Structure 1
């Protein structure tokens, strides 16, 4: 993939830009094989490739410049906006929407936040695209004063960008290096974006996590479903379940599935999906998978556990608890093979039987690797 921003030195976020994609994928596969070599023997399935460009379903655009000429992209070393509206790794539908969103910033008089001087209102514009082409648009601002401006001009945006079916404002008054605050104000009638993957419809609320590569996420869930169906467990836990991606994909008649997630919004989304699909044996609870699994009946060991933690991994406490549990099988999906290897070392009762690299993040060193663990 060729990128004019990278070539001009304006953006270096894609650290492997310009490297042949086949080499990128082979290097990721080789790295995972090396890190997990001592936890086998492992049957390595062929790595799952992605489109080299246009794959990212979510854009996190820092707003810079001025009201009259806003930039949507990143900040340079001096805190000035660098416009990246033509970023090639974004899905085309997002690229097409960005000029309208930039025009909306001007029309609504939203002053871009000046990071060095700590002045201004609008910090980020976050855009997520569903497979249907529908969009979720979020404006991250410092105060409620901007909410009225955005609400006033929302009809203009909806007329020119009808695909924006969910529009919200996130309040982040503090000056700190995070993308969003705790409070979200939804301005549209719809509050969820429907992410349909095959026969499963997931509902995404503004602050819910979802994999950034829709096509590869679909293959990730399909791989987990294949392994679960092969083992035919009567009960499954999905820890760090998010909006229920794994849990809803592995649901089957007579199979009890429990998803646990710290985000109440994500759990509400997962429950909605289960209800719409008529899945009576699938339930979701708010809880911290790492620290406390919640209701007493949850502590009865399931036949199979799925974990999909953040980059830090599941940590030694949960690893030890899984190692001592009655679960016979664990499916561990990881976006960080280094923390995965540390967690596996804390689970000596399990061996990795199968593994597969899925390239969620072309042009970068990041990856997803899913592993099937069985008791020795």
Structure 2
């Protein structure tokens, strides 16, 4: 055990060195407190003993520095009869052991035993802390995995009922996350936006097949039932504490900028930003996807529809930003959607797509089929948007 003694008295230094050497410990004595801070920074001792009676030494500052630089270092104060000094060392310096002056052999022996005990318990404490941190990290990973599995199961449950919308939720979630990044949304909101977009239509699980899968136009009564998927989804997701912050999109993704959407509770910028971002992505993906009653629109046709909806259906400022996103982005994200599992993978894909579209040259046709993607070995089949979105 290495002990650093800060003390001006050769007699005290000799007695402490003698008592500790007999027990196999090294004692380094320093008479000048000026260089002690640097010594501790260079090599932290196992124990720091300082004479609080030294007039030119700020004992409390040195003790605090030792605690900050070497938390496992035991801190001992050598004090005389001054009660105020003792109180100051305890309250302000965080001293852990007090060795009273004048020095006695019994006092040195007791200090040595205490330091030995502190070293053992300190090492055990550090080992236990490291073990605990590892266990917490493992449990956190397991909790994150269980959460991602829950979200995937909910999305899959809807996909199994609405075969025509296969991978629609994953595509719009990826695209909405990318759009949010481009718009400059705070990074702390990225996961909330991704999860909300992924689960935007989860309430359709509560809609009967006769209405949900009806190929023809819905009657007013059926339309009312279909629109209830918003409230069903909000109730469902509210039961999962971690998803409550992601409710903005499921609750408001059918609201219109002019107030003509449903549930009809909001308009303009009173609609959450996440939902305003998503509504553009949702319609764009529906236009680009084949449906029983229509062909898939190309990028130019879909953008024309989006532009015509600016100020009525969509936030015009967001439309202006959306149309600047290269068409290759949709191709890349669509190809990756089937393989993405969870928010972390989604962020990785978005960053790689951003890098690809920034550094690559788009063909003169303005079309990129996404065939050269490097981040996704598994590619899903082309998906279809919901018939009654």
Greater Rg over alpha carbons, structure: 2
Bigger share in strand: 1
**TM-score, with structure 2 as normaliser:** 0.24
Select the structure with the greater relative contact order (CA < 8 A; seq sep ≥ 6): 1
**TM-score, with structure 1 as normaliser:** 0.24
